[in-house]
Amino acid sequence: MNKAEARFNYFYKKMYDYEKYLKIENLKDGYSYKIWARNAYVGIWVASEKKFDISRYKVGGNPMFRGEYHWDIGEPLGTAKPLAVIEKCPFNREDYIKETTQDILYYLDALEESNPIIKGYNTLLQRKEGAIKFAQHLSRKPIEGKMTISEKFFLDGKIMSITIKNETIQLEIESMGNKFDSHDFITSFAKKNQKIYIKALSDIESEHPFQVFHSYLGKRVKEVCLELGYKPTDHRSKDIFGIDASCTLWEKA
């Protein structure tokens, strides 16, 4: 471990209890900030939604346009602590959401590289490499007929130990009819599979286990829905906590 990496690890651990971050009332809509967050270290503040637009690397080397809510929103969604303003974003949000999303991703990545959270440590490179390794991990072929969390997902070095069969996901999907969204699925799944749900949450070593497991379920739903001929569209609805958030609407073709 070099000195820059050691400084970053020290910084990251300290940030959990750090209280001198910028509060919501001190942020400027449409400005970019250095942030300490779950999935990025630079974000554009969206005042109306109390979140930062970010460039996220999850699986593979291509970024995704996502958001992280301000820390003061509270658990389980509040994951971002803004530390310093960078500049006013040169893009109009309505434009980059609809037509120029790739441009904003390039912009955010360039900002993260030119405004390091720790001098000498490239967080963008580390995020990309981690996502590529994760993609390689997911490429391992699961046992036919079932797919386990341990084969498909791990976090912070600990693998979740429960098994969720494809059949379980498929039965839940079919019980919901020809049209539903991912929030509907998660709510229904949690009610009907309470032991599995609670066990999965307890296995996740994260400050935000709900967010991690719900993301995992969303991926499993996508895999099975596409096999069953459902078509996805972007959607918004209330999640399991009653918070209006983005999700995927699935409709049988």
Eight-state DSSP code of residue 142: P
The answer on pLDDT for 163 being more than 60 is yes
pLDDT, position 228 = 87
pLDDT, position 162 = 60
Q: How confident is residue 141, by pLDDT bands cut at 50, 70 and 90?
A: very low
pLDDT, position 69 = 95
Report the alpha-carbon distance of residue 165 to residue 240 in Å, rounded.
22
- What is the pTM for the complete model shown? 0.56
Q: How confident is residue 149, by pLDDT bands cut at 50, 70 and 90?
A: very low
Query: CB of 101 within 8 A of CB of 67?
Result: no
Q: How many residues does the chain have?
A: 253
Which conformational region is residue 186 in: left (phi greater than 0), alpha (psi within -120 to 50 degrees), or beta?
alpha
The answer on pLDDT for 151 being more than 50 is no
pLDDT, position 143 = 36
**pLDDT tens by residue, 187-202:** 999 998 888 888 888 7
Report the alpha-carbon distance of residue 108 to residue 88 in Å, rounded.
12
Q: Which residues neighbour 47 within 8 Å (Cβ) at sequence distance 6 or greater?
A: 27, 28, 29
pLDDT, position 159 = 41
| Mean pLDDT to the nearest integer, 31-54 | 95
Q: How confident is residue 180, by pLDDT bands cut at 50, 70 and 90?
A: very high
| pLDDT above 90: percentage of residues in the chain | 38
The residue among 51, 79, 84 whose CA lies nearest residue 67 is 51
Give the SS3 label for residue 164. strand
The answer on pLDDT for 99 being more than 70 is no
Count Cβ atoms below 10 Å from residue 226 Cβ, excluding itself: 12
Q: Which residue has the higher pLDDT, 102 or 57?
A: 57
Report the alpha-carbon distance of residue 5 to residue 129 in Å, rounded.
15
